[in-house]
Amino acid sequence: MREFKSVAFNGLATGDNELVAAEEGKIITVRSLCIVGVGGVMQIRFESGAGGTALTGIMHVLASHPLVMPECPSGCFSTVKSQSLSLELTVATTASGWLTYSLSEV
């Protein structure tokens, strides 16, 4: 059984924001998440590494309307091995939230 971990984030700014640091030889798999923006429409995209491979398309999130991805046993998306998990904000706003993830070698 894989161990789940969690991370909370608050006040992220425009650009690439590292959510989970890379671990050599490990893949980061997001299991669930909640993210909310303040002030206008937020445009977000999850990436493997800062400015790296897109893990999602650009998603538009309305201010004060959380984007929630409930628990997904097989994972919502995963990074490339040995790369961090980043959140790219493409509009001047701030984002807060949390996510759960697991680390694996496969």
In a domain, 105, yes or no: no
CATH at 43: 2.60.120
User: Which of 33, 42, 35, 48 is closest to 79 using CA atoms?
Assistant: 48
Q: Per residue, what are the HEC states of 27-75?
A: EEEEEEEEEEEECCCEEEEEEECCCCEECCCCEEECCCCCEEECCCCCC
What angle (nearest 5°) sits at the alpha carbon of residue 72, between those of residues 80 and 8? 70
Query: How do residues 66-101 score in pLDDT, each as one tens digit?
Result: 999 999 989 999 999 999 999 998 877 788 899 999
In a domain, 106, yes or no: no
In a domain, 28, yes or no: yes
In a domain, 34, yes or no: yes
Query: How do residues 3-33 score in pLDDT, each as one tens digit?
Result: 889 999 987 778 899 999 999 999 999 999 9
> Domain limits at 46?
4-100
The total number of structural domains that make up the chain? 1
